[in-house]
Structure 1
């Protein structure tokens, strides 16, 4: 998630700035507490009405948490972005359920999925365990759609377990840019560096650690005290609803709500492995793309390159062109959207996925 796009489309906004002012002035505290305690994301009811149920399945050493929709078509496995969880797809789950049998999975390091101590945060290990999930839970070849790091895992599956994958939708994956050492020249690595620091320092509450580490950014782009307000809001939420994923309704933008929810359940070792390159041990993007034999839809969202050469986004135009040239059966779509396309442009995302899978890729 790029810093400029976070500022432009994602971060907080006037609602939080007003709340900061209210707290600073000593007014509105009771109202704020009530809103935090009683907020329920409206997507919950829509997902339940569409027939989704949350489940847990043990595959080897991993207890996978996932949401499963009704059997209304071929299996579609969803792999969220790094720092998020299965619920980040809540805007598109009802529509996707009309055409697919959806399995929306928290992969290791994220959400409610539980791994053993010392679990290796590598594409090779996570990909192998996801392959086990496809074999034992999905039970037949599936279409796999992944956003960001989830897109990289979709590529790993298609390249290394081709019999399990019918097609892949690659939603703005950081192809080539996430490989070491180039990762150091991306905006995303600022968050991954924070992950590495958290692992080294042994912090026990990564969400609050991440917000404190980002305090200058919040102060500059939202207002003085914004980070403190978020921390207090999160503490109040946890007091009122212990054990639930964080939902902070005073945030006006859905992407940042999902980002904080995901960070609340995130293992920072995952991000640290991107920072030091260990996540990619044995997983070369170019080699893997060349082995993907199934149909692949490559979706590229907005990006920019800062004056110092830092990439703010997942891929440059050259990266996307290189990836498309390596894919044997690749289709490219460019969209005016932020990195998590299914949150920024949910209707466009559903249309692209269903059009590609149902009518266009076989």
Structure 2
């Protein structure tokens, strides 16, 4: 993918140029437009790929006042109008799916909307406090901002991530100390590279792709619920008129009732009830569907053509 920058919108993006159907990819929180690198080449056989860095991520604008669904969506709308210059298919993963849906609800620029496991209903209001994202990335971002000892957010996140609670209690501290030591050594040697830690799952390391250029103030907006600008998710979804595919990852509930997923099965059923033309496609994997199930992910998109 060729990296480019649109000064008008303040968005960095990656493009695979051809004369095919424009497909705009909007990544999840914490990563950047390169998150889709593992599927972009194969998707380019059917699509003209534009993979965007959202504000606060990658090489796009890092102005904290714009870290909200309205400003980011307006920037992408400007990008579509001035760079793509045609209607598009929009695909958004996680928080990127929230943004993609808002764009589709506000404009006629989206011919088809693909939502990859976005946290509708679960990430808004008090519901957000019982989700993995809140106790993990959002809270870690908040705590990082409130301290001034650790300057490396990537290492701070790895050290404090909620995932350690999923290890057996007897071995948790020992394993954590060992792997944090490995991560610390790697960060000292390769401060500008994506984190790699021996024995850490590749699917989990995918969440660190681009985190070097992630602004924790973006995560703070999910911690304090300001990202949504007070706009109820139901209002957004009810105004989407284009055909919509919702890619739903597996739902897991922790022993303490914590939602270890983007949204619950009830949430996704409510999404399908509110969007006029919506089809749910289930995937037997975790939140990063395009990372964990790339062949099925690509097949789903190709079959929409």
When normalised by structure 2's length, the TM-score is 0.91
Aligned pairs (5 A) from 1:1-362: 52-60=1-9, 62=10, 64-116=11-63, 118-161=64-107, 163-190=108-135, 191-202=137-148, 204-214=151-161, 217=164, 220=172, 222-238=175-191, 244-246=192-194, 248=196, 250=198, 253-356=201-304, 358=305
Provide the C-alpha distance between the structure 2 equivalents of 1:254 and 1:69, rounded to a whole number of angstroms.
25
Residue 69 (structure 1) shift: 0.4
Provide the C-alpha distance between the structure 2 equivalents of 1:216 and 1:124, rounded to a whole number of angstroms.
31
**Secondary structure of the corresponding residue to residue 92 of structure 1:** helix
Residue 216 (structure 1) shift: 8.8
Provide the C-alpha distance between the structure 2 equivalents of 1:186 and 1:215, rounded to a whole number of angstroms.
11
Residue 246 (structure 1) shift: 2.1
Bigger CA radius of gyration: 1
Greater mean deviation of Cα atoms: 337-346 or 68-77: 68-77
What CA deviation, in whole Å up to 9, does each residue of 1:203-234 have, x standing for no partner?
A: 54311222233499287284532112102102
What CA deviation, in whole Å up to 9, does each residue of 1:134-188 have, x standing for no partner?
A: 1111111110001100111110100112x21111100111110000211101111
**Secondary structure of the corresponding residue to residue 101 of structure 2:** helix
Partners of 1:156 and 1:288 within 8 A in 2: yes
Residue 197 to residue 263, structure 1, CA distance change in 2 (3 Å) = same
Partners of 2:17 and 2:48 within 8 A in 1: yes
Provide the C-alpha distance between the structure 1 equivalents of 2:56 and 2:100, rounded to a whole number of angstroms.
16
Provide the C-alpha distance between the structure 2 equivalents of 1:215 and 1:286, rounded to a whole number of angstroms.
29
Greater mean deviation of Cα atoms: 318-327 or 228-237: 228-237
Provide the aligned C-alpha RMSD in A: 2.0
Partners of 1:251 and 1:257 within 8 A in 2: no
The number of aligned residues is: 297
Residue 247 (structure 1) shift: 5.0
Residue 308 to residue 246, structure 1, CA distance change in 2 (3 Å) = closer
**Secondary structure of the corresponding residue to residue 190 of structure 2:** helix
What CA deviation, in whole Å up to 9, does each residue of 1:47-94 have, x standing for no partner?
A: xxxxx211111124x2x2211002141100001111111121122111
Provide the C-alpha distance between the structure 2 equivalents of 1:192 and 1:132, rounded to a whole number of angstroms.
28
Residue 306 to residue 253, structure 1, CA distance change in 2 (3 Å) = closer
Provide the C-alpha distance between the structure 2 equivalents of 1:112 and 1:258, rounded to a whole number of angstroms.
18
For structure 1, the 5+ residue unaligned runs are 1-51, 239-243
Partners of 1:180 and 1:276 within 8 A in 2: no
**Secondary structure of the corresponding residue to residue 102 of structure 1:** strand
